[in-house]
Amino acid sequence: MRKLLWGTSLTVLTLAGISVALLFSNIYTFNRLTDEAPIAKLRFTQLAPQKYAVELRTGDFCDPQTFVLYGDEWRIDARFLKWKPLANLIGLDAMYRLERLTGRYQTVSDENTNRHQAWRIGKQPGFDLFQYAKRDWKYWSPVDTFFGSSVYEAVDPAWEYTVYRSQSGLLVRKASAAPAHYEGGALVIHIEKDCP
């Protein structure tokens, strides 16, 4: 009887251990394949109709750059290297290189007739992994694909925009740029400590 109880307890503990391992494996897989990281922050000041000064912070977010954009919207372009899912699971995140910041008009007629300005915002690397991988890693590569990714949003000086790198491209989220404001009767104060 004692051996039967011991064997049943061991089986139950083994099944519980396997269940816990499968649960954590599932959570880890979901986390790796949906990973995001902030890569740029933008704030705007209106200078004239359809003309804005933009403060762009990238990297460690400590060295702002200022540009002038024309239009109703802003857009950031990046070059992306997406890994195959197995490579994501062992810890490789999508790689990106910021390339361009531009303004964008909401209407095609404005887009075709009004002023444009584009700015290079990424640094050209000494060793270009994108070109190397495209040329030399054809079939055995852990690289899934190379592509360009853009994100755009309407310009509103009341918001600060944060651009994120996901495993499959760029996305943007916005938060109030006001240092303090009321939401639902409560005072909300944003404290930002990106830099020392």
Q: Does pLDDT of 84 surpass 70?
A: yes
The proportion of the chain whose per-residue pLDDT surpasses 90, expressed as a percent, equals 41
Q: Looking at the 3D structure of the chain, how many domains does it have?
A: 2
Is residue 150 domain-resident? yes
Q: Are the C-beta atoms of residues 133 and 143 closer than 8 Å to each other?
A: yes
Residues 54-60: contacts with CB under 8 Å, at least 24 apart: 54/101, 56/101, 56/121, 57/194, 58/98, 58/121, 60/194, 60/195
Q: Count of alpha carbons within 13 Å of 112, Cβ hemisphere only?
A: 3
Is residue 193 domain-resident? no
Task: Give the model's pLDDT for residue 182.
Answer: 73
Q: Tell me the pLDDT of the chain averaged across its residues.
A: 80
Q: Which residue has the higher pLDDT, 153 or 7?
A: 153
Is residue 195 domain-resident? no
Domain hosting 9: range is 1-33
Same domain, residue pair 70 and 137: yes
Same domain, residue pair 169 and 153: yes
Q: Which residue has the higher pLDDT, 10 or 58?
A: 58
What is the four-CA torsion angle of 187, 153, 151, 59, rounded to 10 degrees? -40
Supply 150's token pair. Answer: 């853009």
Same domain, residue pair 143 and 99: yes
Same domain, residue pair 155 and 58: yes
Q: Are the C-beta atoms of residues 103 and 54 closer than 8 Å to each other?
A: no
Supply 33's token pair. Answer: 């394949």
Least confident of 102-111, 154-163, 167-176: 167-176
Same domain, residue pair 93 and 4: no
Same domain, residue pair 26 and 44: no
Same domain, residue pair 1 and 59: no
